[in-house]
A and B are shown apart, each in its own frame.
Chain A
């Protein structure tokens, strides 16, 4: 418990230090925020256009679609904020030898990789997503209040799922030199969770609810608020999926570090 508190304090410090350094170049920072926002806005408007034509796609109304899409941006944005080093782990840390320095500090290696740098501009996704959810809630006739109150917490669980899945993929770098990259296709799978699961066929549904459980990060967290009775059991499972993927990631990293210790690469 003491270690958890220490790591939490460190996370705050890493973040504020990074933010401070980033904000020294204000113009650069705001340009990135704007560019990031433009990207989100573009893909969001495509969705809006598309779904405004089919008001009941997969049994979901237009405000419900906006609610889901908006919510999905929140765990996705949180993931984007901490993920830049995960992508660069193999090249930047293993190949260039920076990982040695990580191992010389009394802090969890995975923690250091995740929080040594941030993609701050992705916080706009969290804000944009929240605004979309608020817009949708005001247009939805019947929303479960409990589902709404739990939403922020479930967003964090969702972000943990995303981060854990990519941490697992990154840990594979300890064993194989991944030249082609398995991360990009998996990254693209994340966007599947932004739409009602009901529009996909069974294979995709099963994939997103099992091997790569992205449906637990963005879709299932919304079903309680939206009163989608048939999916509500899955809502309750979200924290467990989140914890399980995190444990698996931490475990694989531990084994990976052991492997690094015996081969030095």
Chain B
């Protein structure tokens, strides 16, 4: 493999925030003292991305996600660490660098609100100095994939959210950037619109080999699109790997649900391999198997051998559940993340920073 497109090593971002005492007296004091607190938003993050990769960057609100993205896009300067994308240092080379990236904020359009979409595209054509030939080619392509031709003559404010998102995606790719940042690209969209956006992204990634970094709270986006997921919390990277590995590592359990032939056992306590089965009503039972302790096959065998089973199914926890569990557990007892040892001055950045 050639050198990575994105190279991040020991990336740190801290903010100095003025300490504010509560109340009016506090405000008066604030005028004279300049006591500051250091907040660590990103705390030693390292990863690298190869060309053509599509990764999900997830974490709860205030985990350091958007601060990382802002550093990667050249908006913020890192406090320390190395950051190099496509041979450039984003903040230092910002003006040139922005020509090599596309950015879509799901909640905020980059198109000019009052003018027709096509006019916005023409402005972008000039801003990014796209040749007539390339522009024509890409517009045709985007129309085929996104069917935006119909909206081009309308001002952005008249478009629905789904239509606007399609136009925004096209706008961000007009200058054919090798790297695309997407922040909540499916937020607020209906099922069909979500599917359209995902299909388009998969297609762009496949045909143009665009590298995509996706931050989202909709984990279906990640499951459908990303081979790899980065999980961040309290500014630290907790996980970097395939999404299935996330499940194995943080919520290694399956649920085995079975229906019995007669209702003789209904309401009775059943115990399988030392685990109590939960009666879900009538003849249906469920056991939750911790895969670290036993194999699901053993449990299934025991169930089938001991009871008159008519139907049996196995469920893996869905990814929402896994991530939900991580967010909930983290800060209490997560392996490899000594949160309690953090210095007391390090407040969660979420309390002061927007988005």
Contacts and interface: CB of A to CB of B under 8 A. Distances in A.
Interface of A: 6, 9-10, 13-14, 17-18, 20-21, 24, 97-98, 100-101, 103-107, 258, 261-264
B108 A101 contact: yes
A20 B119 contact: yes
B328 to A, nearest CB: 28
Nearest to B102: A104
B194 interface: no
Given A104-B75, A107-B127, A13 B122 contact: yes
A178 to B, nearest CB: 15
A264 B76 contact: yes
25 contacts: A10-B126, A10-B127, A17-B115, A17-B123, A18-B115, A20-B119, A21-B115, A24-B114, A97-B355, A98-B108, A100-B75, A101-B105, A101-B110, A103-B74, A103-B75, A104-B98, A104-B101, A105-B98, A105-B127, A106-B128, A258-B77, A264-B15, A264-B67, A264-B70, A264-B76
**Most chain B beta-carbon neighbours within 10 Å: one of A9, A18, A106, A258:** A106
Nearest to B129: A6
Contacts of B94: 103
B155 A21 contact: yes
A255 to B, nearest CB: 13
Contacts of A104: 73-75, 98, 101, 103, 110
B280 to A, nearest CB: 47
Contacts of B119: 17, 20
B249 interface: no
A261 B115 contact: no
A103 B77 CA distance: 12
Contacts of A9: 126
A264 B42 CA distance: 13
Nearest to B95: A106
B16 interface: yes
Contacts of B123: 10, 13-14, 17
Contact of A261 (B67, B75, B126): B75
Given A17-B115, A104-B75, 7 more contacts: A10-B127, A13-B123, A18-B115, A20-B119, A21-B114, A103-B98, A261-B75
A24 B105 CA distance: 28
B354 interface: yes
Interface in B205-250: none
Main secondary structure of the interface of B (DSSP, over half): mixed
B77 A106 contact: no
A101 to B, nearest CB: 6
B19 to A, nearest CB: 16
Nearest to B172: A104
The 5 closest A-B CB pairs, nearest first, are A21-B114, A261-B77, A21-B115, A106-B98, A103-B75
Interface in B119-149: 119, 122-123, 126-129
B99 interface: yes
A23 to B, nearest CB: 11
**Most chain B beta-carbon neighbours within 10 Å: one of A6, A107, A262:** A262
Interface string B73-103: 1111101000000000001001110110101
A9 B353 CA distance: 37
Nearest to B14: A262
**Most chain A beta-carbon neighbours within 10 Å: one of B99, B108, B353:** B108
B112 interface: yes
Interface string B59-72: 00000000100100
Nearest to A95: B354
B340 to A, nearest CB: 28
Nearest to B181: A104
Contacts of B16: 263
Contacts of B77: 258, 261-262
A262 B99 CA distance: 22
B167 to A, nearest CB: 15
A90 B15 CA distance: 20
B17 to A, nearest CB: 9
Contacts of A101: 105, 108, 110
A24 B116 CA distance: 11
Contacts of A100: 70, 75
A20 B99 CA distance: 27
A236 B91 CA distance: 41
A97 B354 contact: yes
B155 A106 contact: no
A13 B119 CA distance: 10
B145 to A, nearest CB: 23
A217 B115 CA distance: 34
Contacts of A105: 98, 127
B42 to A, nearest CB: 11
B85 to A, nearest CB: 14
Nearest to A10: B126
B96 A261 contact: no
A104 B72 CA distance: 11
Contact of A263 (B15, B95, B115): B15
**Most chain B beta-carbon neighbours within 10 Å: one of A6, A104, A263:** A104
A264 B128 CA distance: 25
